[in-house]
Amino acid sequence: NAGVTQTPKFQVLKTGQSMTLQCAQDMNHNSMYWYRQDPGMGLRLIYYSASEGTTDKGEVPNGYNVSRLNKREFSLRLESAAPSQTSVYFCASRNPAGPSNEKLFFGSGTQLSVL
Amino acid sequence: QQPVQSPQAVILREGEDAVINCSSSKALYSVHWYRQKHGEAPVFLMILLKGGEQKGHEKISASFNEKKQQSSLYLTASQLSYSGTYFCGSQAPGNQFYFGTGTSLTVIP
């Protein structure tokens, strides 16, 4: 019963470096999300995927790309990291068509620092 | 898109009550409430699906006024374990899901 697995937990990058945050869920959920959380800013939606094969921009997509590789996996890529992307990143999944408008399940988060 | 919460922060003594409000400029079809402890991921508290619906979870309950596009979270007889940041959340068309601005709640002995 892993739920949502997110890797890595911590990462330090230099400005201009690239990296991919990985997220996988084993609950057969259709929808997956990437959020970033900055102090005092709450959780802001970066990208989401309503179902396998689709991805869409959220509130703050600039500087990021995503891939919904299959139903289980949804990755977030920073092509050229900037200090403004220093944040805590959360992946989440849910089944919005579920009987009770299903809740979000979260990964444990990735603390990313860009120097 | 982000719902607005008030207050931004509140400090309570154990046993006191608190109300957290969530307001949206767009229609709310359902409202979720989550609590996040420092350094952890948010944890689900409850979903409200219908206008005017109230749900409860131990001493934490919530109401949802679909017409006013508002929801309120009520914490009664607060305990130290209630400390954390509370977020409301709402689904938008296309399965987007947005969280509110957050309310930091601190319960002191």
A21-70 tens-digit pLDDT: 999 999 989 999 999 999 877 899 999 998 898 999 999 999 999 999 89
Q: Which among B1, B47, B102 has CB closest to A103?
A: B47
> Does pLDDT of A84 surpass 70?
yes
**Tens digits of residue pLDDT in B63-102:** 888 888 899 999 999 999 999 999 999 887 777 889 999 9
The pair of three-digit structure tokens given for residue B99, joined into one six-digit string: 């969280």
Scan for tokens 């949206």, then name that residue. Answer: B24
The pair of three-digit structure tokens given for residue B7, joined into one six-digit string: 């207050």
**Residue numbers in B near A91 (CB within 8 A):** none
Q: How far apart are CA B66 and CA A79, in angstroms?
A: 41
Given CB atoms, is A55 within the 8 Å cutoff of chain B? no
Scan for tokens 């259709």, then name that residue. Answer: A30
The pair of three-digit structure tokens given for residue A53, joined into one six-digit string: 């094969």
Burial class (CB in 10 A: 0-12, 13-18, 19+), B98: buried
The pair of three-digit structure tokens given for residue A10, joined into one six-digit string: 């911590």
